[in-house]
Amino acid sequence: MSTHVPTYLSDYKAEYAKNPRKAALQWFRDAKYGLFIHYGLYSLLGRHEWVQHTEKISVADYAQLAHWFTAEQFDAEWICDFAVECGMKYVNLTTRHHDSFCLWDTDETTFNVMNTPCGRDLVGELARACEKKGLGLCLYYSHGRDWKHPHAPNNDAWGGKARPEYETPEPTYATGSAHNLQYYLDYMTAQITELLTHYGPIAAIWLDGIAVPLCPKDAHCQAKEDFDPCTDGDAFKCQELYDHIHSLQPQVLISYKQGYLGTEDFFAPEHKAYNRFGEDFTEKPGEICTTAGGGWGYTAGHDYCTADELWTTLNNARDAGCNLLINVGPLPDGRFPRQSTATLLEVGKRLSPSEKIG
């Protein structure tokens, strides 16, 4: 194990030397407040991150958006300075959402940021800025859903929302006996390995898409808060993935929304405090994720919450024993919407100096 203590854990050196993950869990409980960033090709359209699915845009047509992705105003240094000023202790970036477009220089697919006019590794830029500012870097990774990879879960076996419901079958999707989920699992493991070996210390791997592995033949399960499991065992081999993640970086924390196996390091439900196992948040930390306005990805024309509303949300999360992970969907060029920055800065002013970095 490396003796180097990540900057975000600099106040937990003694515990880190004995047990890196225990130190990270204590840091996470103390952190209270983080910044979520949903950014990708969908941002160019301004109709939230599910636009490919809801509007049934073909894989080939959606891929054309890469020709227009410049991210010219995506400034990792500014983002981290902003997060610190707002009183946040960590940043979570969508490295790859359900559309499968990757914001880092991955060897596993050409559908990534390096093959766009942007041509920059945005995960790498944010990793360096977070390390410099003492912020934890959390990496969102779409695990259960993928609307591009040929061997990702299909609707016929994994419920009605795993893929867009195209009127004409998508020719690039492997189906029937040609479909092999293991190819997709190997692909995801390789990508997560890249994220944990190329970018320094990572605070958390934040998996999304839980309704697909939990509800393989019953799309109605997706609306249930308790997510009754209806799989025959862990078809997605998540425990193997969790063990692999911890072997690469022992301090890194793992979440899979409101809990998949129960062996995750923390629960991360949307909008309110709950988990699939009915536990409180004393034994295992919780993090409520919600958005400052509109969709998770940039949604043009939607209202943003006020500072008073966000202040109430933050305090409600704390009363429930949870962190708050508040989302901003950057504009197509990577800038944050003015309404969201104003709200978050105002809430930051209300936090005490002892709650902030520095």
204-208, strands of its sheet edge to edge: 253-256, 204-208, 136-142, 90-96, 33-37, 322-328, 286-291
| 190-245 per-position pLDDT tens digit | 999 999 999 999 999 999 999 898 865 444 444 444 444 444 467 899 999 999 99
- Is residue 93 within 8 A of residue 122, CB to CB? The reply is yes
In angstroms, the Cα distances linking 260 to 242, 246, 264, 344 are 11, 17, 8, 31
Q: Is residue 302 part of a domain?
A: yes
| Range from 90-104, 178-192, 208-222 carrying the lowest mean pLDDT | 208-222
Rounded Cα gap, residues 332 and 328, in angstroms: 12
Is the predicted pLDDT of residue 22 greater than 50, yes or no?
yes
Structural domain boundaries, residue 229: 7-355
pLDDT, position 233:
60
Is the predicted pLDDT of residue 2 greater than 80, yes or no?
no
Per-position DSSP letters for 109-166, written without gaps between them: -S-BGGGSSS-S-HHHHHHHHHHHHT-EEEEEEE-S--SS-TTSPPHHHH-TTSS---
Q: Token pair 């022992």 is at which residue?
A: 250
Is the predicted pLDDT of residue 3 greater than 80, yes or no?
no
Minimal CA–CA distance to 289: which of 301, 302, 274?
274
Average pLDDT over every residue of 82-95: 98
Bridge-partner residues for 287, per DSSP? 323
Provide the whole-model pTM: 0.95
Supply 171's token pair: 């020719």
Average pLDDT over every residue of 183-192: 98
User: What's the N-to-C CA distance of the chain in angstroms?
Assistant: 28
Element (H, E) at 186: helix 181-197
Neighbours of 17 (CB within 10 A): 12
With a CB cutoff of 8 Å and minimum separation 6, the contacts of 87 are: 33, 347, 348, 351, 355, 356
What is the pairing mode between strands 136-142 and 90-96?
A: parallel
Q: Is residue 79 part of a domain?
A: yes
| 114-170 per-position pLDDT tens digit | 999 999 999 999 999 999 999 999 999 999 899 999 999 999 888 778 999 999 999
| 263-296 per-position pLDDT tens digit | 999 999 999 999 989 888 999 999 999 999 878 9
Would you put residue 28 in left (φ > 0), alpha (ψ -120 to 50) or beta?
alpha
Task: Please state the φ and ψ torsions of residue 88, each to the nearest 5 degrees.
Answer: -90, 155
Minimal CA–CA distance to 291: which of 25, 22, 49, 111?
49
Q: Is residue 71 part of a domain?
A: yes
Q: Is residue 1 part of a domain?
A: no
pLDDT, position 214:
83
Q: Is residue 340 part of a domain?
A: yes
| Number of domains the chain contains | 1
pLDDT, position 231:
45
Crossing angle (nearest 10°) for helices 338-350 and 76-85: 40
| 307-347 per-position pLDDT tens digit | 999 999 999 999 999 999 999 999 999 999 999 999 999 99
Q: Is residue 309 part of a domain?
A: yes
Q: Is residue 2 part of a domain?
A: no
Find the CATH number of the domain harbouring 267: 3.20.20.80
